[in-house]
Structure 1
C-alpha cells in the first residue's frame, strides 16, 4: 500500500493553512492513515488508472474539477502526493472556463473548488484564487442586482455553491454567503414554479422540466447532497440559514437510506427500480461521500447511517472498481436516468472517480484500522 510519512515539498502538509477554520463548522484536515488501512489502496488504484487512461485530462471542466477535489482528498487521507493536481492547475494558470453567452455558468466555476483545496491545504498563494475571486465577486454583484436564476439545475449546487461560501468565510465577505443563499433559495423553492426540491420525497428534480414528475435522478441528487455536505463543512455554526441546510440534508439522507438497493448501489432512477435497474456508480459515490461526511460530523446518526455508507463503499470497491483499476458503471453525460444508457462495467468518467476518492476519505474516518495512532 502506498502510504508515506510525509509529502514531497511540492505538496507538503507541513505548510497546510486552514484559512477560516475558526469560523467553519468542521474542516477535514490532513491526518494520514496507518499502513494497515484497507481504504487507501483501492483509492490509488482507481486514481492511477484514470490518470493513465482517462480522457480530456487537461481541461478546467466540472468533470476534472470533481476528480481533483477527490484526488486531494486521497492525498490528505494517505499522506502521499501523486503530483497531479498542482501541475494541472498550474497549466491552467488557475483560470476558469468562460462562456460569453452565459457569464455565470455554474459548470465553469467548478474548478474553483479544486483551487480552493490547493490553496487551503497546501499552497496559500493568492494567484491560485485570483480568477475565482473575480468571478464570484462579479456574480455576487449580479445577484445583488436581482438576478437569481443562475442555479436552475440541481448539479449547479455542487458546481458553484461551495466556492461562494468558502470565499465568504475566508475573505470575511458575508455578501458572498448571502448571494449563495439567494441562489440556493431560487433553486430550492422557485425554479420551475415550485422549486427543484420535492418536500414529499425529500429528493430533487434535475431541472424545471421535471418538476411535478416522479423522476428523481441519482447523480443529480448526489450532486445536491454532496454540495450540502461541503457547504455545511465550511459554513459558520451560527449562520441563520444553516438549520435549513441541515434539514434538507437530513431529509434527503433519510429517504436515501430507505431506497438503497440490497447490493449497496442506488438506482439511477431513485424511486423506480425497474427503470434501467443496473448498478450506477457516480450517484452512489456521491451519496457515500456525503452520508459518510454526515456521520463523521454528527449530522447523521452513526448507528443508522454507518451501515448505509459501508454498503455503498463495498459496492463501489468490489463491483464498480475493476481489477485493472477502471472504475466502471458510470452513467455518462445526462440530465436524468434515461441519458447515456445502458450503463456498463466499462463506462467510466472523471467525476465518478473523483467522487469515489471523496467517499474514501470519509470511509477511512469510519474504519477502525484507518484510525491514526494517538500520540
Structure 2
C-alpha cells in the first residue's frame, strides 16, 4: 500500500516542479517589461537619439524643407529644444547648451511670424528662449516673445487656441513669464485662453468631462465618430495637453490661480489613459479605436510617460501603480523605436488625426524628425529624475 501511493505522489511532485519552473521562466521573460532600466541606460538611449539628430542638423539655423521651406524656429523644432533643455537639465553638457543658444541666435531670438503673432505654434520657441535667458540674462533672448505675449495680454480676445496642440505650444510661455516678472496677469490670461478651449470651442468645449480626454479640434466633436462608433481622441493631441499641464504645474507657484483645476484635469486624464495602454507598451493613435490605424506610435506614448513620470516624482501618482506602466512603454520605445543609429521609428508625421502621417512603422520617416525626439527626451529626462 505504501508503494502504491508513493508513485502517484512522485508524479505529482514532478508535475508541480515543472509548473514552478515554467512559471519562473514566464515571469523572467515578462519581468523586463515592468522594470525600468538603470538610469545610465535611460541616459544612453537619449544620448544616442540626440546625437543622431545633432549630426543630421549641424547648423541649427538651417531651413527645414518638406513640401515647402520653413524656418527652423517653427513648433516642430521648438518641441525638440524643449526636450534638449530637459536633457541638459539632467546631463548638463556644454554642446547641448551651445546648440540651443546658436538656434536662438540664428533666428535673432525672433518668432516665425514676428512679434505681433498670436499663433501658439509661433510662440513655442519662446519656451527655450526663456530657459536660456534664465541661464544668461541677455535681454534680447526674451525681447520678442515677451512682446508677443504682452500684446495678447492687453487684448480682450481669448479664442485663439482652437486646437489642443496650442496648449502645449503656448501655455508654458505664459507660466514662465508670470514667474519671471512676478505678474499674475500672465497666469490669468493663460487661464482665459485655456478655459475657452476647454469649455467653449466646438460648441461645448474640446474637453469631454466624462471620458476625461480631449477632441483635437471642432472637427472631431460629436457627432463625429471613429469607425468603431467611439469618439475620436487623438493620442498625440492628448499628449500635448498632458505636456502642457505638466509644464505649467512645474513652473507655477503652489498658490497660483487655477492651479487646482489644472491638477485635477491632469489626474483625471492620466487615470483615463492608464487602461488604454496596448499590451506592447504603446498607445494607439486613436485612443478609443484600435481598429483605426492601430499600432505602435512613439509621440503620444512618450508624452504620456512624461506626464506619468512627473506625477510620480511630484507625489501625485502612486509609484507602484504607474512604474510598471511607464517601464513597459519606455522599454518598448527604447528597444523597438530607437534604432542603433539613433533614428526614431514609429513616429507619426504631422497632422491632427489617426490617418495622418501613415503608415507609421519602424523604418518610416516622418515629415519632421525633430518633435518626436523632443517627446522622447522629455519622457526620458523625467524618468531619469525618478528616485
TM bin (shorter chain): 0.7 to 0.9
Cα distance in 2 for partners of 1:310, 1:86 equals 33
Q: Find 1:236's aligned residue among 216, 228, 253.
A: 253
Larger mean Cα displacement after TM superposition, 83-92 or 60-69: 83-92
Larger Rg: 2
Q: Find 1:47's aligned residue among 40, 47, 50.
A: 50
* Aligned residue number for residue 37 of structure 1: 40
* Aligned residue number for residue 6 of structure 1: none
The normalised TM-score by structure 2 is 0.81
Q: Find 2:378's aligned residue among 358, 361, 365.
A: 358
Cα distance in 1 for partners of 2:237, 2:63 equals 22
Q: Find 1:96's aligned residue among 111, 135, 138.
A: 111
Cα distance in 2 for partners of 1:119, 1:289 equals 24
* Aligned residue number for residue 144 of structure 2: 131
Shift of 1:51: 2.1
Cα distance in 2 for partners of 1:195, 1:315 equals 34
Shift of 1:48: 1.2
* Matching of residue 70 in structure 1 with residue 79 in structure 2: no
Cα distance in 2 for partners of 1:86, 1:312 equals 32
Cα distance in 1 for partners of 2:174, 2:84 equals 22
Q: Within 5 A, what are the aligned runs for 1:208-223?
A: 208-212=218-222, 213=224, 214-223=231-240
Cα distance in 2 for partners of 1:173, 1:138 equals 15
* Aligned residue number for residue 275 of structure 2: 258
* Aligned residue number for residue 17 of structure 1: none
* Contact kept? 1:60, 1:111, Cα under 8 Å: yes
* Contact kept? 1:281, 1:331, Cα under 8 Å: yes
Q: Find 1:160's aligned residue among 170, 176, 190.
A: 170
* Contact kept? 2:187, 2:256, Cα under 8 Å: no
The normalised TM-score by structure 1 is 0.84
Q: Find 2:125's aligned residue among 111, 114, 121.
A: 111
Cα distance in 2 for partners of 1:198, 1:315 equals 29
- Are residues 99 and 170 of structure 1, via their aligned partners in 2, closer, same or farther at CA, if it must alter by over 3 Å? closer
* Aligned residue number for residue 8 of structure 1: none
* Aligned residue number for residue 4 of structure 2: none
Q: What secondary structure is seen at the aligned counterpart in 2 of 1:37?
A: helix
Shift of 1:223: 0.2
* Aligned residue number for residue 19 of structure 1: none
* Contact kept? 1:288, 1:313, Cα under 8 Å: yes
Q: What secondary structure is seen at the aligned counterpart in 2 of 1:258?
A: helix
* Contact kept? 1:220, 1:283, Cα under 8 Å: yes
After superposition, the CA RMSD in angstroms is: 1.8
Shift of 1:99: 6.9
Cα distance in 1 for partners of 2:255, 2:92 equals 32
Q: Find 1:309's aligned residue among 306, 313, 326.
A: 326
Which consecutive residues of structure 1, in runs of 5 or more, have no partner in the other structure? 1-34, 369-375
* Aligned residue number for residue 310 of structure 2: 293
Shift of 1:248: 0.5
* Aligned residue number for residue 16 of structure 2: none
Q: What secondary structure is seen at the aligned counterpart in 2 of 1:191?
A: coil
Count of residues in correspondence between the two structures: 328
* Aligned residue number for residue 27 of structure 1: none
* Matching of residue 177 in structure 1 with residue 177 in structure 2: no
* Contact kept? 1:219, 1:283, Cα under 8 Å: yes
Cα distance in 2 for partners of 1:99, 1:79 equals 31
Which consecutive residues of structure 2, in runs of 5 or more, have no partner in the other structure? 1-37, 65-70, 225-230
* Aligned residue number for residue 24 of structure 1: none
Q: Find 1:283's aligned residue among 283, 300, 308.
A: 300
* Matching of residue 87 in structure 1 with residue 102 in structure 2: yes
Shift of 1:52: 2.2
* Contact kept? 2:111, 2:123, Cα under 8 Å: yes
* Contact kept? 1:288, 1:312, Cα under 8 Å: yes
Larger mean Cα displacement after TM superposition, 221-230 or 279-288: 279-288
Cα distance in 2 for partners of 1:306, 1:116 equals 32
